[in-house]
Structure 1
């Protein structure tokens, strides 16, 4: 099995354990660390990075070449969108819908989905292409899972901070592709010198090199 599929499952299991933390249920209706997002809605958005994958695997793939990983983000209308833009409002509504049945149901659905994917992902052929209907465009399965890895890592931190628990420590093999993706996106946004200086030269580091 491709390494990204393995590390995706590791990250997905970590996300389920965070979603199951008692503090998440206790603060379900409280504001999260993200503006306009309840803890419950943010938990739903995190869980969606697992729950959406079976549907993507089942989506028919139209003819045509998949876009690359950076091409996926270059086409995304959500990057740089304002908090009240429809795309971000839609993300928050989606998170709330996913979480509508409460924390116990969300954890049960997420846990069952991970077990389903633990069987399904190894069975997918090499070179598998999936269709990202929200785009719409296609990606290799490995690139698609890398985008979900990044979402899991970032939103696990958001959720942990929101409920006052430690951010999950992900193994290096999980975090490495996430950091590589974020660094490449940051270079595209800010330029190579800015990112190099942020990582190596405090005296010349810019104030902001965020990827988004």
Structure 2
């Protein structure tokens, strides 16, 4: 029996990705501005997050590095270099680089360790300006180096969008303040993570629905061709984001009815999380 065919990569309009980035970064900056303007801002910046030992301050420091990463890499472009990895390759590499990412976050946090709350908010806005300038002034087809391998700017901007959306949800969880994601940003990240699942577990025996943004088929086995699929998983975008990134486990999500799974092959807990 031949191996299941991997799905074709989804294409994204670079202009729409930049607009989604602008919208999501604006949401995060406004949330951090409000946090840092609160009377108890110092205590809130030192509060824990669901990311191991990271505090809110360290989470913001990580966001600063994520926003500035394009400007750091743009100066090392080489027209002779071709892209080595795809967006899916990059996402799949995140878990294996967890130690490296944590070390970088700690280094970034040192810069903000003694900063006054207003300076923390200003530093994030400065980083946001660098990302906007870099995204607007760089050819989407250009290639930049990353820790996982060289990739196009278009794909790299999608990784920045993934970082900002995932960590915006972390920020909301840590502060207890709901955060309204940019719709197009949440849509793109939902699709990126759904496509990552389809690439990780290629096949057509299970249909995963994340309305209104994505539907993918995955998991090797009998392929559904018509009518109602026998194995269906359905959830909302934020629950999917949390499942895919290890912020929520499958058992809790199904028990809370945040996920519905019908069919004997619909348990995809073995494929999750996709990144941590």
TM-score tier by shorter-chain length is 0.7 to 0.9
Match of 1:180? 191
Match of 2:56? 39
Match of 2:90? 72
Q: Work out whether residues 88 and 196 of structure 2, in 8 Å CA contact, stay in contact via their aligned partners in 1.
A: yes
Paired with 1:71 and 1:19, the residues of 2 have a C-alpha distance of 31
Report the structure, 1 or 2, having the larger helix content. Answer: 1
**TM superposition shift of 1:122:** 2.2
**TM superposition shift of 1:110:** 2.0
Q: Work out whether residues 128 and 140 of structure 1, in 8 Å CA contact, stay in contact via their aligned partners in 2.
A: yes
5+ residue gaps, structure 2, are 1-13, 209-231, 236-259
Paired with 1:185 and 1:152, the residues of 2 have a C-alpha distance of 18
The answer to whether structure 1 residue 114 and structure 2 residue 128 are counterparts is yes
**TM superposition shift of 1:98:** 4.6
Paired with 1:119 and 1:61, the residues of 2 have a C-alpha distance of 20
Change (3 A) 1:80 1:72: closer
CA RMSD of aligned residues (A): 2.7
**TM superposition shift of 1:69:** 0.9
**TM superposition shift of 1:15:** 1.8
Paired with 1:92 and 1:51, the residues of 2 have a C-alpha distance of 13
- Output the TM-score relative to the length of structure 1: 0.80
The answer to whether structure 1 residue 203 and structure 2 residue 262 are counterparts is yes
- Output the TM-score relative to the length of structure 2: 0.64
**TM superposition shift of 1:181:** 0.8
**TM superposition shift of 1:107:** 1.7
The answer to whether structure 1 residue 156 and structure 2 residue 168 are counterparts is yes
Matches within 5 A, 1:36-115: 36-61=53-78, 63-66=80-83, 67-74=85-92, 76=93, 78-79=94-95, 86-87=99-100, 89-102=102-115, 103-115=117-129
Paired with 2:145 and 2:194, the residues of 1 have a C-alpha distance of 25
Q: How many residues align?
A: 204
Higher relative contact order, chain-length normalized (CA < 8 Å, sep 6+): 1
**TM superposition shift of 1:189:** 3.7
**TM superposition shift of 1:111:** 1.1
Change (3 A) 1:151 1:118: closer
* Equivalent position SS for 2:150: strand
**TM superposition shift of 1:58:** 2.2
Paired with 1:53 and 1:97, the residues of 2 have a C-alpha distance of 21
Match of 2:17? 4
5+ residue gaps, structure 1, are none
Change (3 A) 1:160 1:116: same
- Cα deviations by residue, 1:38-90 (Å, 9 ceiling, x for unpaired): 1211121123221222212222337332121112234x2x4157xxx733541
